[in-house]
């Protein structure tokens, strides 16, 4: 499945300043791994010992994957996946 | 007076230092950024005498706030009463109780004016002209009001189903108000995308490190009003979970710069509504981090944040301070609002009901000490959530203008002192 991964502005130095990165993946986790393959600097920023870091939230078409199936959440063709910093609001 | 004692911004996870810019998270691990001060330099210049000679508002603690120069907006925020609450104490069973009353904070009647005064002073320093927020209501009022007074344009995003008074009390200031069909957390996610795309100053997103510092002033004031000491117990309502942590930080900073003789040992107690209680549920279950609540359902809309940004830190503080957390039902909230009104003459919003009801519950459970000096943080005004009181208070008796009509509804009871 073709997915567009949205990169938050302050993280774009790690994706060669790309605001979105196109990958092909069947699940949210796979999409992030593909992103990290293309832009290895993202790996340690998103993951800590294979776990998504505490202050990173992942949304597929505006739905938080924690309310779906986390990194196993299935992706449909042309879905949007957004990486959103969790330190906001209140 | 030059007042900047800020050294930079520091990641709360990896301690990496960043220059002061409108950004809220670490580019290495997404961790929250926090202002880093030169406390030794502050200690050298700030004395009780110097501070006590200043006006009683939040800016008397200016050295411990992150503005570069003199603050430019929200100059009269803070300086709210700390009320000895004997009658409420008696009703609840606390023998040494105080209420910190931010229901009368200026200009918009909630503690949020404290955070906004700092965030928008900072927005002006950064040269921003458009500001905004994602809000459960009180922040909306405050950003709209203070932005108007500062001549800033504001975009305010709220869940579309907020209380009428909170919506009106935002629109009246000329803000562009956007009601989003979704939960607060959905509004917040949208705003995070908007903030970085448009570069506006969202007080609780890219300006969040500065915003959060404003809450410390509630702690500074409590300690000063008690005569430069900290209370044994504090009860704080929690939404994003920032306020509770910043009150604690405020206490510790006063000690660090030498204004408090003893190191604070305050126990922190967090209060939430049962219809949205991610933090208190995590504390009660011994979980390290909260589990987000997808669809909050409570009359206390101001605290209805299902995925609190500071949930992890709030839970940690509560546990490590020896405190606890509790959540209360909508009926308990309403009853507690009435109890506070009828014992202390303070009409607080639903979040105040949450705080009072949680304190009562924690005391009954033996989690709080009846004899220890206790401060309840009342953070918002009841006139903004009057819907919650529908059918809870009697309608007035309506009569004609004659004495007979009055006496038809009232018999006896002349003032004994004058009889
Ligand atoms: C009246 C009131 N009290 C308390 C809070 C909680 O503050 P925090 O989000 O910092 O936990 C809020 C926040 O929205 C509020 O509106
Ligand atoms: Zn970091």
The widest CA-to-CA distance across chain A, in whole angstroms, is 36
pLDDT at B2: 45
Cβ neighbours, 10 Å, residue B52: 11
Nearest CA to ligand 1 atom 15: B302
Reading chain B (419 residues) residue by residue, the pLDDT tens digits are 445 899 999 999 999 999 999 999 999 999 999 999 999 999 999 999 999 999 999 999 999 999 998 899 999 999 999 999 999 999 999 999 999 999 999 999 999 999 999 999 999 999 999 999 999 999 999 999 999 999 999 999 999 999 999 999 999 999 999 999 999 999 999 999 999 999 999 999 999 999 999 999 999 999 999 999 999 999 999 999 999 999 999 999 999 999 999 999 999 999 999 999 999 999 999 999 999 999 999 999 999 999 999 999 999 999 999 999 999 999 999 999 999 999 999 999 999 999 999 999 999 999 999 999 999 999 999 999 999 998 899 999 999 999 999 999 998 778 888 86
Q: Is-contact B155 B176, C-beta < 8 A?
A: yes
ipTM of the complex: 0.96
CA-wise closest residue to B137 among B174, B118, B173, B110: B110
pLDDT at A10: 93
- The domains of chain A are located at 2-85
What would the pLDDT profile of B24-66 be if each residue is shown by its tens digit? 999 999 999 999 999 999 999 999 999 999 999 999 999 999 9
Contacts 24+ apart (CB under 8 A), B335-342: B336/B360, B337/B382, B337/B388, B337/B389, B338/B389, B338/B392, B338/B393, B339/B88, B339/B91, B339/B92, B340/B88, B340/B99, B340/B378, B341/B382
Question: CA–CA separation, B65 vs B216, rounded Å?
Answer: 8
What number does the ligand 1 atom closest to the CA of B102 have?
1
What number does the ligand 1 atom closest to the CA of B110 have?
1
Question: CA–CA separation, B18 vs B105, rounded Å?
Answer: 33
Best B137, B156, B189, B215 member to test A by mutation, with max A CBs in 10 Å, is B189
pLDDT at B1: 42
* Superfamily for the A2-85 domain: Beta-grasp domain (3.10.20.30)
* DSSP H stretches of helix in B172-215: 184-198, 208-214
- Which amino acids bring their CB within 6 angstroms of ligand 1? A 90; B 110, 112, 136, 138-139, 237-243, 302-303, 349, 351, 379-380
B8: left (phi over 0), alpha (psi -120 to 50) or beta: left
Q: Is-contact B209 B35, C-beta < 8 A?
A: yes
CA-wise closest residue to B154 among B177, B137, B172: B177
Domains and their CATH numbers in chain B: 82-108+214-389 (3.40.50.1100)
pLDDT at B3: 56
Residue of B nearest to A47 (CA): B29
Task: Compute the nearest-CA separation of B227 from chain A (Å).
Answer: 30
Query: Which segments of B6-124 are extended strands (E)?
Result: 6-11, 17-18, 33-37, 82-84, 97-101
In the DSSP assignment, the letter for residue B416 is: G
Select from B158, B237, B337 the residue to mutate for testing ligand 1; criterion: most ligand atoms less than 8 Å from CB: B237
Question: CA–CA separation, B386 vs B251, rounded Å?
Answer: 33
Low-confidence ranges of chain A (pLDDT < 50): none
Q: How far is the CA of B259 from the centre of ligand 1 (A)?
A: 27
Q: Per the CB < 8 Å rule, is A10 touching B27?
A: yes
User: In this structure, are strands B6-11 and B33-37 parallel, antiparallel, or unpaired?
Assistant: antiparallel
Which tokens sit at B363?
A: 């005391």
pLDDT at B413: 76
Q: Per the CB < 8 Å rule, is B193 touching A88?
A: no
Nearest CA to ligand 1 atom 16: B302
What would the pLDDT profile of A30-46 be if each residue is shown by its tens digit? 999 999 999 999 999 99
Residue of A nearest to B306 (CA): A90
Task: Compute the nearest-CA separation of B348 from chain A (Å).
Answer: 19
Bridge partner residues of A83 (DSSP) = A58
């Amino acid at each position: 499945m073709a997915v567009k991964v949205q990169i938050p502005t302050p993280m774009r130095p790690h994706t060669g300043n790309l605001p979105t990165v196109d990958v092909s993946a069947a699940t949210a986790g796979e999409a992030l791994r593909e992103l990290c393959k293309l832009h290895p600097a993202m790996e340690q920023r998103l993951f800590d010992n294979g776990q998504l870091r505490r202050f990173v939230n992942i949304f597929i078409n505006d739905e938080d994957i924690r309310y779906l199936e986390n990194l196993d959440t299935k992706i449909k063709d042309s879905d949007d996946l957004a990486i959103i910093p969790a330190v906001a609001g209140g | 007076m030059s007042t900047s004692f800020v050294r930079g911004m520091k990641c709360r996870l990896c301690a990496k230092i960043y220059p002061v810019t409108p950004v809220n998270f670490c580019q290495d691990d997404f961790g929250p950024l926090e202002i880093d001060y030169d406390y030794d330099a502050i200690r050298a210049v700030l004395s009780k005498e110097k501070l006590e000679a200043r006006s009683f508002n939040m800016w008397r603690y200016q050295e411990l706030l992150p503005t570069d120069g003199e603050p430019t907006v929200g100059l009269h925020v803070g300086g709210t009463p700390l009320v000895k609450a004997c009658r409420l104490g008696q009703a609840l069973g606390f023998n040494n109780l105080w209420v910190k009353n931010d229901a009368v904070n200026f200009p918009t009647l909630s503690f949020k004016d404290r955070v906004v005064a700092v965030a928008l002073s900072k927005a002006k320093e950064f040269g921003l002209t458009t500001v905004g927020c994602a809000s459960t209501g009180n922040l909306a009022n405050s950003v709209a009001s203070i932005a108007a007074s500062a001549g800033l344009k504001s975009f305010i995003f709220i869940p579309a189903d907020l209380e009428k008074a909170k919506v009106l009390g935002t629109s009246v200031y000329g803000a562009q108000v956007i009601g989003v069909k979704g939960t607060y957390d959905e509004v917040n996610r949208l705003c995070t995308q908007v903030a970085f795309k448009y570069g506006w100053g969202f007080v609780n997103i890219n300006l969040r490190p500065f915003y959060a510092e404003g809450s410390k002033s509630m702690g500074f004031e409590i300690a000063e009003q008690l005569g430069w000491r900290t209370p044994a117990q504090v009860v704080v309502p929690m939404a994003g979970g920032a306020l509770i942590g910043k009150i604690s930080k405020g206490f510790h900073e006063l000690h660090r710069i030498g204004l408090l003789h003893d190191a604070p040992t305050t126990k922190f107690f967090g209060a939430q509504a049962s219809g949205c209680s991610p933090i208190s549920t995590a504390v009660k279950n011994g979980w390290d981090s909260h589990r987000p609540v997808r669809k909050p359902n409570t009359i206390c809309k101001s605290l209805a944040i299902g995925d609190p940004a500071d949930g992890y830190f709030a839970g940690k503080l509560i546990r490590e301070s020896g405190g606890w957390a509790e959540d209360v039902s909508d009926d308990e909230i309403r009853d507690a609002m009435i109890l506070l009104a009828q014992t202390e003459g303070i009409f607080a919003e639903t979040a105040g009901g949450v705080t009072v009801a949680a304190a009562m519950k924690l005391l009954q459970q033996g989690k709080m000490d009846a004899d220890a000096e206790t401060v309840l943080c009342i953070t918002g005004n009841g006139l903004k959530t009057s819907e919650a009181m529908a059918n809870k208070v009697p309608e007035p008796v309506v009569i004609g203008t004659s004495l007979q009509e009055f006496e038809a509804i009232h018999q006896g009871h002349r003032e004994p002192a004058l009889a």
